[in-house]
Every structure is written in structure tokens, then in C-alpha cells.
Chains A and B, each alone.
Chain A
Amino acid sequence: MEAALSNLALVWDGWRRRPGFWAAIWTGILLAAAALSLTRGAVHVPLGELGAALLQPAHPSHAVVWDIRLPRILAAGLTGAALAVAGALLQTVVRNPLADSGLLGVNAGAGVAALFGLIFLPAAVAALPFLAFAGGLAAVALVLAVSWAGSQTASPLRIVLSGVAVQAILFAAIGVLTFVFADRAPAFVSFTVGSLNGTGWREVRMATGPVALGLVLAWTVTRPLDLLLLDDDSAGGVGLAVRRARVGASCLAALLAAAAVSVAGLVGFVGLVVPNWIRIATGPAHRTLIPLSALGGAALLVLADLAARTLAAPVELPVGAFLAFLGGPYFLVLLWRKLP
């Protein structure tokens, strides 16, 4: 019995550092969550009928599955992947595992810009992610400039503090916008807390381009990103333009976070927890970190959204709040263990 157990431990030890193993696990979770999510809800569609419901317009459940549940799952997947990769990028940029597009003000900055778009340019839906991108970029630029001012590396404390300050300003702006334009803006609570309620094909179409672009670009710069993990002198010594690489990675993160925010509002913690899980499992090299974060983020958000809308049915919890229940404690544990 003991021999079998130690054998199992050995096998586990061999597997647990393999990227392929984790890719399979996350894909499994993603597919299972997606399948379950397609069947569950106000209208129950048995698993056996799922194929028919999806593909045959005449099926009585076709509208529910095809027009409501599938786009919502895709939107969740895109949002989760974008947030997780944005988090991974920002953690590398500031060389700190506690960074995240929420903490650095990117999400809030993108949120303010997106709200502006929704309120004042309601016709230009396609431009929404790009407007949000500009807002997110401005926010992260401000936070990083303040925390880097006068030093070569930003201390985690300065990043968090300037992130908090910038976020406070942006949240105030979000509050004012949603209050004054209550008739045109999405509900303040569902936006700030993050929700996928009511997302459809329109949101999927809107976010697919920017997210795909961001993921592909992130995948092409994985080796320079590895060099950013070293100190500035070492990275510069092998010919990396350190500042340019940092700015580029921040832009990518802002693009991804902005796309996510335009779809789901301010969903936190996916960007924080997923890359950290991946790093613990397979190490910090970006060749594996970026794609596995995308996969893990998608899986986590699809799963979380499924839980958020079915656990307390018929009441639908906002997925952002649901994730905060998961992520908050994780963040505390991380602080407890990692910070001196």
C-alpha cells in the first residue's frame, strides 16, 4: 500500500512540472464547465440533447443554448483568458507576483473610458474596446510612472499604493458617471463588481479581435519577457531594450484588460491568481506561462460564471463578486507568505 502510494507520488512528481499535463487538465476543466454551462439554467437541456439543441434551429431549446448560453460562455472564456494573460504580463513588468490589472488601475481606467463611450458614443460599439484600451493604458502609465519615479525598480509598496490612489479617483469617476447618467449607463453595481449577465454575440464579436491580437502578440514576445524577469543590468547586457520591453508589455496588458472590461466590467483576481497557479506548477518561463494562463483564465471564468448563475438560482450572483470570494483569501495568503 505504502509502496503504491510512493509510486503514485513519483508519478505525480514527474507529471506535475509538465506543461502538457496542465494544458490537458485546464482544457478538461474548460470543456466540462462549458458543457455543464450549456445544459444548466432556467431551461434544463439534457447532455444527450445538447448536440441537437446547438445545431438544429428547430429544436425547442435552440434559442436558449445558441443565443444565450453559448455566447455567454465564449465571452467568459475570452474575458478570463485576457485578464489572466494581462495579469501575467504585469507581474513580469513590475517583477512582482502581486501585480494584476485590477490592482494597477488598468481595469478601472478602461472602465471609465468604456463608460464614457457607452454614454456619449452609443453608436460606436466596435470602438469600445479601443476606447477602453486608451483609458487602461493611461491608468497603468500613471501608476507605473509614479511608482517608478526616481528609482530603477518600483517597490511593490509604491505600486500598490499608487494603484490604490489612482483606482480611488477612477472609481469616483465611475460612480459619478453611473449616477448622473443612470438611464444610459449599465448599473453601477453590476459594472464595478463584474458580471456576464446579458452578454451575447455582440460582446463576443466586439472582444474577439482585441483579445486574439493581444494573445498572439504576447505569445511572440515570450523570450524577451523571460529576460525582463532578470535584473535590468543583466537584461540590458544581452541587448534587451528594457524600458521599451516594459512599455510594450504594459500596452499589451492594457489592451487585453480593456477588452475584458468592455465585456464584463471590473472582474478582479483572475489576473492575480491564475498566473500564480501556473508559475507554481510549471515555472515562470513565458513560453508556458502565457498559453497556460490564457487557458486557465478561460477555464476559471467559465467555471465561476457557471457557479455564479446556478448556485443561488434563480438569483444570479455577479461573477466578479463570486471570484472576489475566491481571490481575496488567496491574495491574503500570498501576502502572508511572500512579503517580508
Chain B
Amino acid sequence: MTEPLQPLLTARGLHLRHPRSDRDAVRDLHLELRQGEILVILGPNGSGKSTALAGLARGLRPRAGDVSLGAHPAWGLSRRAFARRVARLPQEPACPDGLTVEELVTGGRHPYANLLGDLRPADRAAVREALRWLDLEDLRGRAVARLSGGERRRAWLAMTLCQGADVLLLDEPTASLDLKHQCEVLELLARINRERGVTLGIVLHDVDQAARLAHRVAILHRGRLYRAGPPRDCLTREMFLDVYGVETRITDEAGALRVQVLGPGDPTRSL
């Protein structure tokens, strides 16, 4: 990768609050997603990761600050124009009984639909391609709700992929998957980034996975950005003590960063 990379999706001084909550879940967030990178957002429970991702994806209107997509203010674009550039996959999305893989994936073409919603050849081609890319051709007629966890995640990825966006924002795409399917999904994401040049913003829980996948990580702590940068600079013993309150040993063997959690850290340190 060649530096410097163009910022694609930028949050400036973002304050986000959930409806009916009385405090901001994200405060004064400055964060940028650069063209072609994989940015992993990390942080303990309740640190505002998912909220920050929703804010970037235009899923939550900021109370203060703004998000821009390239040179445009994100909220100035039409909903569908934004969806053509930025796709979002929520955590464990719900799919109704009986909806087939192909029907779900076709939903990803909504930003391109005309008033009557009929599919054009380009839409059909995009759906076919997404199904092929995620190896879902044999499952296209199957009900999504009946698939295994890993297959279901692939179906949702196919839907977001055929949206044709440059930016893909994913909230814990490996949650509730077994180890093999976690690896499978992470590999797929790396491939999507490498071969299709899609910029990825991913919320993850597992720091080892983050270290392996990310070009950069952003660490959130109590709604604020604690630090952002390459994994090596951010995943430090000090950070784990401050943010997670755990004592760790970080090893760096042959370029592979490993985090070993030793136990709870000194309670006086985690403020």
C-alpha cells in the first residue's frame, strides 16, 4: 500500500446519542476511513463501537459534528445516493422465515431501483456476481433462515456486496460464529478488500483477529477515540491496561502480533 491514502469517509467532532437515551454514546469523535484500507474499531463493551459505526453509516443522525463522504456532507446526499457508496451490515441482522438467498441478495440493488422496482440486466448481473463471489450459487433458492450461521453471514455479505459500494461497514461480522466460520468470514473480508478494492470499516471484539486483519485500528474508550493507527502502535500493554483494565503480554513474532491476557490489571490504573 502506498501512503498517503485519501480519506473516504470522515467523522469530525461527532457526538452521537441513541433515541431516548440521556447521554451521548460517542463524544467528539474524529475518525477517517481511508481509500482501500481495512480499519478495525476496537473497544470494550459499551465503548461506543457500534454507535460510531452507525454514525459513519448514516444510521444515526449526529447531535453535533459531521460525517463527510469524499467532498460531500454525508447527510446532504440522498439516502439512496449514500447507499450506492456506503453499505452497512448490522450485527446479527434479522431475516424473515422463507425469504430465499437470492431474494435477500436482490435487496442490495435497492439503491439502483427505479420507481417500479423492476430489475434491469445490470442488477441481475450484480446479483449473479455476488452469489458467485460468495459461493452461494447452489444455495440461491434456499431459505436464509434455514442456512448454517456461516452460510447466512455469507448471504448477508453478498447482499451488501451487490450494493456495489466503495465502503463496507460491518458490525461484528464474526459474532456467534464458530471458529472455522470466523476464519472463513475474515478471509472473505480480506479478499473483498484486496481483490475488489472495497474499503472496510469493521467492529470486532477479538484483538488477535483485529491485529491480523487491520491496516489500522481505532480504539474507543467510553465514547471517545483513545487512539488510532497501525495495530503495532495501538495494541500496547499500556492501552490494554487503560482501556480494558487487563494486564497483557504482547509478542511480535515474524510480523504476527499476539496478545496474551494475563489477568485483571491494577484497578487503580483503569480510571
Q: 1/0 contact trace for A266-306 toward B, CB 8 Å? A: 00000000000001000111000000000000000000000
A119 interface residue per 8 A CB criterion: no
Kindly provide the distance from the CB of A191 to the nearest chain B CB, expressed in whole angstroms: 35
Interface window among B111-119, B187-195, B252-260: B111-119
A67 interface residue per 8 A CB criterion: no
Find out whether the CB atom of B108 lies under 8 angstroms from the CB atom of A238.
yes
- CB-defined contacts of A240 to chain B, threshold 8 Å: 79, 110
Find out whether the CB atom of A231 lies under 8 angstroms from the CB atom of B93.
yes
Q: How far is the CA of A238 from the CA of B93 in the complex (A)?
A: 13
Chain A interface residue number, banded:
20 to 34
Given contacts A283-B100, A283-B143, contact A237 B90 (CB under 8 A): yes
Find out whether the CB atom of B99 lies under 8 angstroms from the CB atom of A226.
yes
Find out whether the CB atom of B90 lies under 8 angstroms from the CB atom of A231.
yes
B54 interface residue per 8 A CB criterion: yes
A220 interface residue per 8 A CB criterion: yes
Q: Which of B87, B100, B113 contacts A237 (CB 8 A)?
A: B87
Q: How far is the CA of A285 from the CA of B105 in the complex (A)?
A: 12
B98 interface residue per 8 A CB criterion: yes
- CB-defined contacts of A238 to chain B, threshold 8 Å: 83, 87, 107-108, 110-111, 159, 163
Kindly provide the distance from the CB of A47 to the nearest chain B CB, expressed in whole angstroms: 39
A27 interface residue per 8 A CB criterion: no
B133 interface residue per 8 A CB criterion: no
B82 interface residue per 8 A CB criterion: yes
A233 interface residue per 8 A CB criterion: yes
Given contacts A239-B80, A283-B99, A284-B99, contact A233 B88 (CB under 8 A): yes
Q: How far is the CA of A329 from the CA of B94 in the complex (A)?
A: 29
- CB-defined contacts of A220 to chain B, threshold 8 Å: 115-117
Find out whether the CB atom of A230 lies under 8 angstroms from the CB atom of B82.
no
Residues of B at under 8 Å CB distance from A? 19-20, 54, 57, 59, 78-84, 87-90, 93-100, 103-104, 106-108, 110-111, 113, 115-117, 143, 156, 159-160, 163
9 A-B pairs (CB sep. < 8 Å): A220-B116, A226-B107, A233-B88, A234-B94, A237-B59, A238-B159, A239-B79, A239-B81, A239-B84
